[in-house]
Amino acid sequence: MRPEPKLGVLLINLGTPDAPRVPEVRRYLREFLSDPRVLDIGAVGRWLLLNLVILPFRPARSAAAYRTVWGPDGSPLLHHSRRLTEALRVAMPDVDVELAMRYGEPSLQRGLDALRARGCDRIVAVPLYPQYAASSTGSTVEALYRAAGEPWNTPFLTIVPPFYDHPAFIDALARVGAPVLEDFRPDHVLFSFHGLPERQVKKSDPSGAHCLARPDCCDSIGVNNRNCYRAHCVATATALRDRLGLARDTTSIGFQSRLGRTPWIRPFTDVELVELARRGVRRLAVFCPAFVADCLETLEEIGIRAAESFKAAGGEDLRLVPCLNDHPVWVAALATIIRESAPHPRALPVLTDRPAPPLSA
């Protein structure tokens, strides 16, 4: 008799340095920014940019930033991802759950090996990026296929697609955010997403004529922008705004975390913050819905630096809404998203249960 297929779940996040020190941050940035999906320029240009411009200077600045958010359990991104993994194990006792990172440790290979060692031959992989970008989701999917293809007996993969407008994800964001808004009483809410070079958004458009070709290109999702990161972010922000019952003119969108001189998608969070303060906004709440786990980009860039510049521009207070982290509503939502994508565990046995028709029929 064919054994029951055993399902494993692999949660995958971006990765983070091993320590908030210059050598560890340099090693992390080297691996991350050597990825041709992240710095998507020619190999020679990437090598020059990385080795002559970025790696001599950025690691010291970034290590100092990491030190401001590093906790007793290490990097916040890894800490929250581990706690989410633990919570999902409890919520889904019938499957094995492992954590892996696209860059650094625990590696994709390590996560896949751990699932294989426990006999999982079917794996549901969850890139923990709600919105699709070729430099985050795409890079993870490519590396995952490569790693999964290494062993002689390959596992069978299902990959959870971007969940930027999944009702369970939006509901979890709203349930985590609502008590913060209730307590803080902001007069404006900003949805701040990780930024992306404009070039990468344009490359996601198969027609080459839709994305960033007109101001309303992200207002709805169709054939040409179905992989557009910016359109996915707009869809998340719109759904969350509606779910929270916020008026359109009391919310805005921004894109944070730019790198280099190439044009990045707009509006920019750091510019928007100052503009809002100048327009009279005093109490600003900021959601970061591109990140499911709090990390350097939420805690330091928004929670510390953005709060300072908002106040310097005349604002009274900025409150960072925590990411979903291991909140029970997110754990339940993630279990729903995974179960919806999982191959039906009885799919093959059900077929073999049926008596075969006679050969002569």
Ligand X SMILES: C=CC1=C(C)c2cc3[nH]c(cc4nc(cc5[nH]c(cc1n2)c(C)c5CCC(=O)O)C(CCC(=O)O)=C4C)c(C)c3C=C
Under the binding rule (CB under 6 A), the answer on residue 136 touching ligand X is: yes
Give the C-alpha separation, 267 to 265, whole Å: 7
321 binds, among ligand X, Fe ion, none (CB under 5 to 8 A by kind): none
239: helix, coil or strand? helix
Question: What residues does 254 pair with on adjacent strands?
Answer: 192
211 binds, among Fe ion, ligand X, none (CB under 5 to 8 A by kind): Fe ion
Residue 301 marked as a ligand binder: no
Write down the least CB distance from residue 355 to ligand X, Å: 51
Distances (CA, A) of 320 to 175, 246, 307, 326: 15, 17, 9, 17
Write down the least CB distance from residue 264 to Fe ion, Å: 11
Binding mask 311-330 for ligand X (x = CB under 6 A): --------------------
Under the binding rule (CB under 6 A), the answer on residue 295 touching ligand X is: yes
Which residue is it, tokens 């908002």?
310
Between helix 58-69 and helix 22-33 the angle, nearest 10°, is: 110
139: helix, coil or strand? helix
- Burial zone of 42 (CB within 10 Å; 0-12 exposed, 13-18 middle, 19+ buried): exposed
Residue 297 marked as a ligand binder: yes
Cis check for the bond before 162: say yes or no (omega within 30 of 0): no
38 binds, among ligand X, Fe ion, none (CB under 5 to 8 A by kind): ligand X
Write down the least CB distance from residue 302 to Fe ion, Å: 14
Under the binding rule (CB under 6 A), the answer on residue 292 touching ligand X is: no
* Residue with Cβ nearer Fe ion (124 or 265): 265
Q: What angle do CA 178, 280, 324 make, to 5 degrees?
A: 25
Question: What tokens were used for 252?
Answer: 């805005």
Residue 125 one-letter amino acid: A
202 binds, among ligand X, Fe ion, none (CB under 5 to 8 A by kind): none
Which residue of 64, 259, 347, 348 would you call a contact of ligand X, by CB under 6 A? 259
296 binds, among ligand X, Fe ion, none (CB under 5 to 8 A by kind): ligand X
Helices of type H across the chain: 22-33, 43-48, 58-69, 76-91, 108-117, 139-148, 167-184, 198-203, 229-244, 269-278, 307-312, 328-341, 347-353
**β-strand pairing of 188-194 with 283-287:** parallel
171 binds, among ligand X, Fe ion, none (CB under 5 to 8 A by kind): none
Residue 359 one-letter amino acid: L
Contact (CB, 8 A) for 181 and 143: no
218 binds, among ligand X, Fe ion, none (CB under 5 to 8 A by kind): Fe ion
Binding region for ligand X (CB under 6 A) out of 149-157, 180-188, 190-198, 218-226 = 190-198
Give the C-alpha separation, 75 to 56, whole Å: 23
Binding mask 2-21 for ligand X (x = CB under 6 A): ------------x-x-----
Which residue of 21, 58, 116, 243 would you call a contact of ligand X, by CB under 6 A? 58
Residues in contact with Fe ion by CB under 5 A are 211, 217-218, 230-231
Residues that bind ligand X (CB under 6 A): 14, 16, 29, 38, 58, 62, 75, 77, 129, 133, 135-136, 194, 196-197, 200, 257, 259, 290-291, 295-297
In the annotated binding site for Fe(2+), the residues are: 194, 297
